Amino acid sequence: MDIHAFTYIVPDYDAGIDFFCKVLGFDLVADIDQGRKRWVEVRGPDAETSIVLARADGPVQEAAIGNQGAGRVWLFLGTNDFARDYDHLRAHGIRFEEAPRHEPYGTVAVFVDPFGSRWDLIQRT
């Protein structure tokens, strides 16, 4: 077994697509109108696991936006060229919480996406 997909709650489908596809360079795998909602699925170019973007529906889900990891880094964006992708994200207005640091496992820096979730940009050693 493996994880086929997981849900990421966003305030708006199109804002989610813009971030994941235009900023991160993910592929839009599906965008299917289901009437009241849409099935929106994105995936990194070489990834097998998809992210299903779900528009928040109601106050409980709205409160979860930006806190899906309970304040922790919970998403890890891998790169094979840290400097290139760090500069790319900054050029797109992504805020980093720290300067890049070198750890035994790789080069890493924490950033916050447009929805408030914390990520690691990481190039493994």
Question: What is the model's pLDDT at position 117?
Answer: 97
Give the domain extent around 110.
71-125
**Mean of the per-residue pLDDT values for the chain?**
97
Overall domain count for the chain: 2
Residue 58 DSSP class: S
Residues 44, 14 share a domain: yes
Residues 114, 83 share a domain: yes
Residue 21 lies in a domain: yes
**Neighbour tally for 85: CB within 10 Å:** 18
The mean pLDDT value for 105-116 works out to 98
Rounded to whole angstroms, the Cα distance separating 105 from 102 reads: 8
Buried b (16+ CB within 10 A) or exposed e, 100-122: eeeeeeebbbbbebbbebbbebb
Q: How confident is the model at residue 35 (pLDDT cuts 50, 70, 90)?
A: very high
Q: How confident is the model at residue 89 (pLDDT cuts 50, 70, 90)?
A: very high
Residues 96, 122 share a domain: yes
Residues 50, 98 share a domain: no
Rounded to whole angstroms, the Cα distance separating 4 from 117 reads: 21
Residue 66 lies in a domain: no
Q: Is the model's pTM score more than 0.85?
A: yes
Residue 18 lies in a domain: yes
